[in-house]
Structure 1
Amino acid sequence: MTEVVVAGGGLAGLVAARHLAEAGADVRLYERHGEVGGRVRSTRRDGFVFDRGFQVLFTAYPAVGRELDLDALDLRTFVPGAVVARPGHRATLSDPLRDPFSAVETLFNRDVTVGDKLRVLGLYRELRDKPDAEIFGGPDASTREYLRERGFSGKFLANFAEPFYGGITLDRSLSTSRKAFEFTFKMLATGDTAVPARGMGAISDQLAASARDAGARIRTDETVTEVGTDGRVELGRETDAADAVVVATDPKRARELTGVDAIPTDAKGCVTQYYAFDGEELDAGRRLLLNAESASPNQIAQLSSVAPEYAPEDRNLLSATYLGAPDDPDETLAARTARTLESWYPERRLDLDLLHTSRIEFGQFAQPPGVYDGLPAVRAPEGSVYLAGEYTEASSLNAAMQSGRTAARAVRADLDLQ
């Protein structure tokens, strides 16, 4: 029987393991942490759910329909758009085509111009049917340059694009590739933004269960320390050998194991804190609160309004995300969040209870203009070694799952698996 080792139990590794096992290979997956999922994990404590940083699932992702059972994930959805907030000011800016109840509020929102609203509708019509291959092909530019060229105002950039897309790409400067913007905009326009009722970690749990059901063996707390071009895998005190090795670790570790310098390792990080409070929920409901003034915090989400399962019945759960890697103590960040909310809601008194802090040093790899042209192929390593990771496609959950499928397809072709 053909033997395959998968190093890394994130989304890419789990998808690769499942497809290879389904093809008849003897698959052994090694994950260095005590649980699978990589960056897509959740902690459940005292009735609360804390994801590893603020994460959402775009249901329009092409890989979602191929790899996930959405009904089993029991998704809870956000309302399209957001609430733009600054001291003494909150205003809804939504998609009137998908959220008609907010049409009047959006129409009279002065945080962006009337021209901006018309240009957004133009983008919606243009991008919703644009093929992904066309989005990622052709010339590139920064998101800021792209939006400026299309005539969007400085108000639109500062009040909406910077905090909203900054939260998605962890880059409030909008220096990320226009291709990332166009793809994300298409996903937002054609599907829902959601979280599973049991947390984002339910996605990894489902992929792991599918891999096991297909016959893959998953071992946690096992670190791959070396990969040979002949299929040899070092596990500290143990050596394994296979006909092929799929390296699906984080980018830095993948570069160390394979020697492929094209793997991007420039990181975008963030810190997400979770707080509980009592009383009525905030009027933003299932919409994001965007900080129109600064990235401290960049956005706040009322998670228990989106997914009541994230908190006990008698409490509300908020998350606040700070971009970059601020090294301020947890209590300092929590106090800053409290002051920010107090300035946005001067009519409310919110006593926040800090529950959990998630510091993500490597949330995404940097995606400046032109980055996609230099990403490594799955067959980039020498010998019988393959890559599976978002860094072969783009920085997203979709790219991670797609890369696992692509790597499995390459192994199957090279080893003549069904």
Structure 2
Amino acid sequence: MAEAQDDRPDVMVIGAGAAGLACAADLAAAGLRVRLLEAEDTVGGRIRTYRVAGFTTDRGFQVFNTSYPQVKHRLDLPALRLRPFTPGVLVHTDGGRLRLTDPTRRPRDGIGLLTGGQVKPRDLLAFGTLSAHALLAPASRVRARPDVTTRAALADAGFSEDFVETFFRPFLAGVFLEDSLETSARFFHLVWRSMLRGTLCLPLDGIGAVPAQLAAGLPSGVVRTLSPVSALTPGGVVVGGGELPARAVVVATGTAAAARLLPGLEPAAGRTVTTLYHAVERSPLPEPTLLVDTRRRFLNTCVLTEVQPGYSRDGRSLVSTSVLGAPTPAEEAAVLTALAEAYGADTATWEPVHRVTVRNALPAMTPPMPLTRTTRYAPGRYVCGDHRATGSLQGALASGARAAREVLADLKTPGTP
């Protein structure tokens, strides 16, 4: 760790989520004095981990994708002690379970689907073509395409409506946090590309290990937690009733907080998700695989301790289930009924461990969607986050990096603050 910086930073960054951490790191690496202010007691924002009743639980169901360029650039992956999910999903249908896997890694599963009559030849061909393009085509081609909804893009790719309803709609509902496939096809293609090129994992210490590692790489004295910013001033920010001066201020909070601090900023529409955690004496699915439901009674569910056994301290299994919105107690009871069908287990004995609702968990990304936007808001004022790019860790980190570049360019320009 470097020596503590003095108390008059060049740049004040508000919010120590992924975007703020990336921005602060790049500014500090360029030699500027930076202060990163976080309202909560630790860094991470929505990327946070709790210890509850002997279990490791994240702030909502989250996965770590190893293929993101910003992730590979900024993080020590071996230090996270990652363990992977199965490269595919199980789909609960009224006729039983259907297993769909990455055809580039498990081609025999695709052949089995075809010979078993579970998937039509046209859908398997479209699936292979879509995946091949995702693996081989440059990302610039994705950005150059006219943007439509994901549903329209899947139809154009040759998928039958039956396959879209059986696989894509329930699976992508958990990725986009919406179940109508109205999300931008540009974002869908980038997501599909990243999934095929990388591995979906969980860190041993929970997803909170990711921002913790980013914060550990910052110079001493940069991060200040429990420091909520109540307002911006012409010369800095207000914290605890006093003003802290800075030449530039970067707002790296969620969309609602950013709109409060930057009058006139239009807040991005967001998606809300609730994740339920249950302790189970015996794993209802002895494999690290995501399970989705064609009736979309839940977004997805999995046995987290099959992915990372260290998430449990006493040997019991931990089941994570996510649903759209904020369900009522009656709706939660209906989810347990659906889980009993999907897992073929008696969920009446499952012990509730934790429940977390995340509002604005992801920005709504309907077409036409720009994949990135400038972070400049006003002279000396910048705003970054996944709501200014794409709803992903990659989007948040890239937006923070862009904010740092634009701040550096502006501070070097004569006449800027």
The TM-score with structure 1 as length reference comes to 0.91
Select which of 302, 314, 339 maps to 2:337.
Answer: 339
Question: Hey, what does 2:244 align to over in structure 1?
Answer: 240
Aligned pairs (5 A) from 1:17-416:
17-87=24-94, 89-100=96-107, 102-103=109-110, 105-108=112-115, 110=117, 112-211=119-218, 214-228=219-233, 230-261=234-265, 263-283=266-286, 285-294=287-296, 296-323=297-324, 325-329=325-329, 332-346=330-344, 348-350=345-347, 351-372=349-370, 376-379=373-376, 381-416=377-412
CA RMSD, Structure 1 to Structure 2 (Å): 2.0
| Contact 2:52 2:354 survives alignment (8 Å) | no
Deviation at 1:167, TM superposition (A): 0.5
Deviation at 1:391, TM superposition (A): 2.1
Instruction: Detail structure 1 runs of 4+ shifted over 4 Å in the superposition.
Output: 108-111
Output the CA distance in 1 between the equivalents of 2:9 and 2:50: 36
Output the CA distance in 2 between the equivalents of 1:306 and 1:312: 14
Output the CA distance in 2 between the equivalents of 1:164 and 1:327: 20
Q: Secondary structure at the match of 1:39?
A: coil
Output the CA distance in 2 between the equivalents of 1:221 and 1:280: 39
Deviation by residue 1:328-359 (Cα, 9 ceiling, x = unmatched): 03xx454333312322344x434211100010
| Contact 1:68 1:207 survives alignment (8 Å) | yes
- Show structure 2 runs of 5+ residues with no match: 1-7
Deviation at 1:136, TM superposition (A): 2.3
Structure 1 residues 114, 138: CA separation in 2 closer, same or farther (over 3 Å shift)?
closer
Structure 1 residues 143, 264: CA separation in 2 closer, same or farther (over 3 Å shift)?
farther
2:148 corresponds to which letter in structure 1? Answer: A
| Contact 1:88 1:344 survives alignment (8 Å) | no
The TM-score with structure 2 as length reference comes to 0.91
Deviation at 1:361, TM superposition (A): 1.5
Deviation at 1:240, TM superposition (A): 0.4
1:267 corresponds to which letter in structure 2? Answer: G
| Contact 1:231 1:245 survives alignment (8 Å) | no
| Contact 2:64 2:200 survives alignment (8 Å) | yes
Output the CA distance in 2 between the equivalents of 1:101 and 1:273: 34
Output the CA distance in 2 between the equivalents of 1:411 and 1:130: 33
State, as a whole percentage, how many aligned pairs show the same letter: 34
| Contact 1:177 1:367 survives alignment (8 Å) | yes
| Contact 1:2 1:26 survives alignment (8 Å) | yes
Deviation by residue 1:229-280 (Cα, 9 ceiling, x = unmatched): x44211141110011111101112212222353x542111111101111124
Q: Secondary structure at the match of 1:44?
A: strand
Deviation at 1:154, TM superposition (A): 1.5
